[in-house]
Amino acid sequence: MELKDYLRIIERRWLAVIAIFLLVLGTYLLMAHTMQTPRYASSAEIVIKQSPYELGVLLSDEFATLITPFPARVSQIRGIEVSRRASKILEEKGISIGPEHLQSAISTRPDAEQRTVVISIEYGGDPTLVVKIVDAVVQAYAEFDLARAAASKEKVKGALEHRQKQVEGIEKAAREARLSFVRSSLDARSHWDPEEQARLKLDQLSQLDRYRLQLELNAATLEEARKAGVAPGEIPELGPLQADGSFLTGETPSASAAPYPSITESQPITGYARQEYDRIAAELASARLRYTDDHPKVKDLLAQQTLWKGLIEAPAPIKGPPQAPIDLQIRLNQERKRVVDSLIDRIWNSLRGFVENKEEFDAREAELASAREELRDIRRKLNELILRISGEQSAVEKTSGPDLAHEVASRGVLTLPFAVLVAIVLAVSGGYTLEYLSDTLRSAQDSKVYLNVPAIATIPFFRGEPINLFEVALKSPVAELFNKLATFLESVAVEQHAKTFLFTSSKPEEGKSTISLNAAIAIARGGERVVLVDSDLRKPQYHMFFNLDNAGGLSTLLSGEAPFDETGENLAPFLKPTSIETLRVLPAGPTPANPVGQLKSDRLPLLIEALKHYADIVIFDSPPLIGVIDAAVISALVDVTVVVIAEGQVTRREAAQVKHTLAQVDANVVGTVINKAHMQPEEYYYYYQYYRTRR
């Protein structure tokens, strides 16, 4: 269904729609006039001061939850929480008003620039009661605002404390990560700073480089002495490196170089090597508790241990420098140089990784510093928030009112437009409901469902327009609809070799006589010879329509008063001419005492055969099917039966009765004509618009 179809339903049910509208509106106005109690109004003005958080004085933007915008504060006044508090305050004063009723009575008028709100209460009953309600609402909102602010601060405090615990965990994890890194990647015996360790290692490299240089000089001196054949006691002085194997640096290392033991006059090379060997062995044992032997840390310690072990196992020098053979001194000098070269290579290799270790160490330090800085900031904010919570006051202050209550217009009058709208909606809904609940046949679909025959034509309800084809133009929409019906009947006549048609209905006033008349006129205008038979012997119509003499007609022929034969030659005096040359009318004739008896006589089949010889198409108009049997008798004798159904006038039960009656006489029902339809067929609608614009 389209919009125009719904509008036509309203048009069809307009009386019910108007009745429902007037009933609803009248009921409302009556209730508003008789049941509405006097209503009074009072108001008070409050100012909502800006908090230090809104002014940006105390806290940063991270505390946005502590700031409630002015529009949100105004809406809170009309909220259910404030109404509940106000209801409790009134209850303490012996006034019982539910929160929902109280909430519906509150209205506000805010001024965002001045941050003021006028709170108005409109309530029925005692005017002093309205003033008390205003006071209660103002007090309730002040308490609500204070409680809300405290709850917001507690929520922020809880969030800060939770974040504090998280940051403390991050700070602890950062400290542990830094310590773990230092233990695994750096020498952590006394210094954690990679730069300090690098400086100490460079000092040791400088010292070892001097040792290596001296060893090279001593090697040259010993080689020259051996070539010259100098006796051991006559070898020149070897400088800091003596023949007994002592390192004489001539310079004591800095005291800050504790992680790397110095080599002094009193410490022979083997003693120094054993001390380093023991230290590395301890580190190796500790590393093997945490790592496997394939770990780089373990492999590096094993390599260092092998170097120092080689120095310890080197041949011992011959006691007494003067007695030591030159070849032995040369060999011992070479072994010492090999150990020193290995120490220098190891220290250089460790220094290469110090750059990467320094970057990792700096990252750990930055992470730890960031966590500590955030922790200090959180503690500062917590202290600041705790101070604010302890001294918090409400930002709501009453500036004026409440005013004396004054009577206001009835709400029923104020909401009259709304009542009219509701009445219209209910009236339209009622019209559609009546249409839906109606059990009458209203469409072609209903014809198919309840009569099991299609609707061959739909004739709209022509309000203000004639439906007599003698009175309308040949190209009018009415004429076109009946031309369509005539075309259908002619096609049925050709397909079924039919000549006689019966138009009937379920009950009177459905328009069957008008439909049959216009169908006959449309067929006759097409050139066919048509006889229109008024077979309604109880209530004849056609003689009045055509202004004919009804002294002789169908009843006369059926009674035997006028003989006729099958050729129809004797029927001419009874077939009245019309303004259309090919159209003849057989009136009903005088009303007989027993109409059914005449229709059941043997002369009716003979008459029908005679009319078939006289005309191309014979159309019968009969009484309704329900109540009398006349139409059923005729339908059993004619070739085709058409049932006229007035939309909205035939119930489903009546349709079932019509179907059953026609089935009993084995009538050939080809379809129905939906008459007086408010839902106009599409072809009529478009043709109607076209015809209207062209006329």
pLDDT tens digit string along 169-179? 877 877 777 67
Q: Which residues, at least 6 apart from 524, have a Cβ–Cβ distance to it below 8 Å?
A: 530, 580, 582, 583
Asked whether the predicted pLDDT for residue 350 surpasses 80, the reply is no
Query: What letter would DSSP give residue 475?
Result: T
What is the overall mean pLDDT for the chain? 78
Looking at residue 68, its pLDDT comes to 75
Helical H segments across 353-496, by residue range: 354-390, 411-414, 416-437, 444-450, 477-496
- What pLDDT, in 10s, does the model give residues 487-507? 999 999 999 999 999 999 999
Contact 117, 111 (CB under 8 A): yes
Looking at residue 190, its pLDDT comes to 43
d(CA 314, CA 329): 12
Q: Which residues, at least 6 apart from 510, have a Cβ–Cβ distance to it below 8 Å?
A: 624, 644, 645, 646, 649, 650, 675, 676
Q: Which residues, at least 6 apart from 329, have a Cβ–Cβ distance to it below 8 Å?
A: 222, 232, 235, 243, 317
d(CA 80, CA 98): 11
Asked whether the predicted pLDDT for residue 452 surpasses 70, the reply is yes
Looking at residue 687, its pLDDT comes to 47
Tell whether pTM > 0.85.
no
d(CA 371, CA 114): 44
Residue 395 has which token pair? Answer: 């930002």
d(CA 113, CA 559): 103
- Range of lowest pLDDT (362-376, 403-417, 504-518, 643-657): 403-417
Q: Which residues, at least 6 apart from 348, have a Cβ–Cβ distance to it below 8 Å?
A: 205
- Range of lowest pLDDT (223-227, 270-274, 300-304): 270-274
Residue 627: alpha-carbon gap to chain centroid: 61
608 versus 684: the higher-pLDDT residue is 608
How far CA 292 is from CA of 180, 181, 283, 297, in Å, comes to 17, 18, 14, 9
- What pLDDT, in 10s, does the model give residues 517-549? 999 999 999 999 999 999 999 999 888 888 888
Residue 177 has which token pair? Answer: 């990560």
Q: Please give the angle made by the CA atoms of 38, 44 and 47, to the nearest 5 degrees.
A: 155
d(CA 659, CA 634): 15
Q: Which residues, at least 6 apart from 465, have a Cβ–Cβ distance to it below 8 Å?
A: 472, 478
Asked whether the predicted pLDDT for residue 250 surpasses 50, the reply is no
Q: How many CB atoms lie within 10 A of CB 46?
A: 22
The closest alpha carbon to 521, from 588, 455, 474, 575, belongs to: 474
How far CA 403 is from CA of 44, 134, 135, 232, in Å, comes to 7, 9, 10, 127
Contact 627, 506 (CB under 8 A): no
Q: Decide: helix, strand or coil at residue 583.
A: strand
- What pLDDT, in 10s, does the model give residues 462-485? 765 557 777 777 777 788 889 999
Q: How many CB atoms lie within 10 A of CB 80?
A: 12
d(CA 133, CA 396): 17
Rounded to 5 degrees, what are φ and ψ at 459?
-105, 115
Query: What letter would DSSP give residue 511?
Result: S
Looking at residue 369, its pLDDT comes to 81
Residue 563 has which token pair? Answer: 């003989």
Greatest mean pLDDT range, 14-18, 349-353, 474-478, 510-514: 510-514
- What pLDDT, in 10s, does the model give residues 574-594? 899 999 999 999 999 999 989
- Range of lowest pLDDT (14-18, 516-520, 604-608): 14-18
Asked whether the predicted pLDDT for residue 572 surpasses 60, the reply is yes
- Using the structure block, give the residue that is written with the tokens 């409440």: 402
Q: Please give the angle made by the CA atoms of 372, 374 and 377, to the nearest 5 degrees.
A: 110
